[in-house]
Amino acid sequence: MVTPAGHTLTIDQDRLWSDLTGLAAITEPDRPWTRRSFSPRFLEGRAFLTRRFQEAGLAVRLDAAGNLIGRLAGQDPQAPVIMIGSHSDTVPSGGRFDGVAGVLAGLEIIRAAADAGIRFNHTIEIVDFLAEEPSDYGLSCVGSRGMAGVLSEDLLGLGGPGGETLAAAIDRIGGDVSRLHEAKRDDVAAFLELHIEQGPVLECTGTDVGIVTAIAGVTRLEIVFKGATGHAGTVPMPGRRDASVAAAKAILAVRDTAATMAAGDNGYFAGTTGVVDILPGGANVIPGESRIIADLRCERRDTVTAFLATIKPQLERIADSEGCELATRLLSDNPPADCDTDLRRLLEAMSEAMGISSLSLTSGAGHDAAFVSRIAPAAMVFVPCRGGLSHCPEEWSEPGQIATGTDLLFKVVQNFDARNSRGILRDKQIDGVRPDDATAPRHTG
Ligand SMILES: [Zn+2]
């Protein structure tokens, strides 16, 4: 089959599309397209994936962190794993492609390889990571954190619906928190994640795929102003301590400071205030307290440090000018994750060889790959999505766009598998095995 971009596919676009629509159909009926992690629909989706994995000849298991893993043993038992994956859970009223595309792309690669009679040296694993989207337990990327060994006791104790802890929820869906250390991996040679871009850049530039340079760090800063409440009609304007006015000025300060950072030579930077609570919230009451949360995304760690150093004196001046007290607190602070340079080069080289256009992009959104990059070389491929929309029912990518990205991943897996098998043996210093090609690239580090 030939894509609109004129590229001849080696994967089966119709088979891939049929699974995308099949899995999408497993949704809360009155709220498409919803498959919340830990819910009955989510487990139905996983049963669908399990069947498809098994039909493709994969051995299927759940790891202790609740990740669904399909495994195809490689010909070289010493070679570490090539892992492909993403997530099958969605946000409420989410889309049909976010996450799912990356899991099914991995599955299609396995099937396309079987059709072509290709046998991999490395073991290939396809992973559906547990709860990538913010879950009802107040945590995202649950499964990939588990695989990276950073799902701490604190996080496992987070409470959710009905008082169930995250730990209990992981056990309920088939994980085993008592053996969580077993989910941590040190045998992955490369991790690849295909994902819809969730932004407009590829569509606007007419580019086939995005090759991700880094997954932005996410820092959330809570800003609380305490003023004085009073009657909106009787308290004169001079001398008011209106906490909502302080919040409004702070929102502008966050926007302006972020815009300055983004315009400088700082890599990708974005700042958004998405939570605004005004208390007590009466039309005839001067707000005595306000709480806002600034969400900061950075490609370079030092830029968020610089942002915080710049915004804090501004917030103090705002509090002073409005007669309010100020309290700030970091709610979360995850560093950016760089994608592996060798894998990025391979993605670029294979795109070029295939005649498809590519662009280097920073991911402003978080992904499982950010956590997996702590334990293995990781890279991401973005495919375009219509209007840059995601996390909404309108989310859409064309069959050919997803198929093109999947085909690129297939070529990269084949190339990596052929080039790195001996390099891996050398790196692992296995007795009696000496690669005759001393220039074989290192896969680790
Ligand atoms: Zn996603």
**5 band by pLDDT with thresholds 50, 70 and 90:** low
pLDDT at 432 over 60: no
Q: Tell me the β-bridge partners of 82.
A: 124, 190
CA distance linking residue 1 with residue 108, whole number of Å = 15
CA distance linking residue 45 with residue 90, whole number of Å = 11
Q: Is the dihedral of CA 420, 424, 425, 426 positive or negative?
A: positive
CB-count exposure of residue 44 (10 Å: 0-12, 13-18, 19+): middle
**332 band by pLDDT with thresholds 50, 70 and 90:** confident
Q: Tell me, what's the pLDDT at 426?
A: 37
Residues 26-66 pLDDT 10s: 999 999 999 999 999 999 999 999 999 999 999 999 999 99
From the CA of 299, how far away is ligand 1's center (Å)? 18
CA distance linking residue 208 with residue 213, whole number of Å = 16
Locate all alpha helices (DSSP H) within 384-437, ordered by sequence: 399-428
CB-count exposure of residue 237 (10 Å: 0-12, 13-18, 19+): exposed
State the average pLDDT over residues 329-354.
95
Q: Tell me, what's the pLDDT at 435?
A: 33
- CB contact at 8 A, 399 and 419: no
CA distance linking residue 194 with residue 105, whole number of Å = 7
Residue type, 202: L
Q: Tell me, what's the pLDDT at 315?
A: 98
Helix (H, G, I), strand (E, B) or coil at 84: strand
pTM reported for the whole predicted model: 0.88
Element at 396 (helix H, strand E):
none
CA distance linking residue 130 with residue 128, whole number of Å = 6
Q: Tell me, what's the pLDDT at 430?
A: 33
Reading the block at residue 18, the tokens are 């049929």
From the CA of 135, how far away is ligand 1's center (Å)? 13
Q: How far apart are the first and last CA of the chain?
A: 38
From the CA of 115, how far away is ligand 1's center (Å)? 29
Asked if the peptide bond before residue 396 counts as cis, ω within 30 degrees of 0, the response is no
pLDDT at 260 over 90: yes
State the average pLDDT over residues 346-358.
96
Please give the residue that has the higher pLDDT: either 106 or 266: 106
Q: Tell me, what's the pLDDT at 421?
A: 64
From the CA of 313, how far away is ligand 1's center (Å)? 36
Mean of the per-residue pLDDT values for the chain? 93
From the CA of 132, how far away is ligand 1's center (Å)? 7
CB-count exposure of residue 398 (10 Å: 0-12, 13-18, 19+): middle
From the CA of 87, how far away is ligand 1's center (Å)? 6
Residue 102 CB partners (closer than 8 Å, separation 6+): 84, 85, 86, 87, 193, 194, 195
**422 band by pLDDT with thresholds 50, 70 and 90:** low
Query: What proportion of the chain, given as a percentage, has pLDDT over 70?
Result: 94
Q: Tell me, what's the pLDDT at 444?
A: 29
From the CA of 180, how far away is ligand 1's center (Å)? 23
pLDDT at 429 over 50: no
pLDDT at 229 over 50: yes
Supply angle C-alpha 222, 267, 335, rounded to 5: 45
pLDDT at 425 over 70: no
Reading the block at residue 35, the tokens are 């498959």
From the CA of 434, how far away is ligand 1's center (Å)? 41
Query: What proportion of the chain, given as a percentage, has pLDDT over 90?
Result: 90
Residue with tokens 């530039």: 205
Reading the block at residue 346, the tokens are 């391979």
From the CA of 101, how far away is ligand 1's center (Å)? 9
From the CA of 394, how far away is ligand 1's center (Å)? 15
From the CA of 362, how far away is ligand 1's center (Å)? 15
Q: Tell me, what's the pLDDT at 4?
A: 64
Residue 220 CB partners (closer than 8 Å, separation 6+): 293, 294, 295, 296, 330, 331, 332, 333
Q: Is 345 left (phi over 0), alpha (psi -120 to 50) or beta?
A: alpha
Residues 74-133 pLDDT 10s: 999 889 999 999 999 999 999 999 999 999 999 999 999 999 999 999 999 999 999 999
State the average pLDDT over residues 367-387.
97
Taking the CA atoms of residue 32, residue 35, residue 39 and residue 41 in that order, the dihedral angle to the nearest 10 degrees is 80
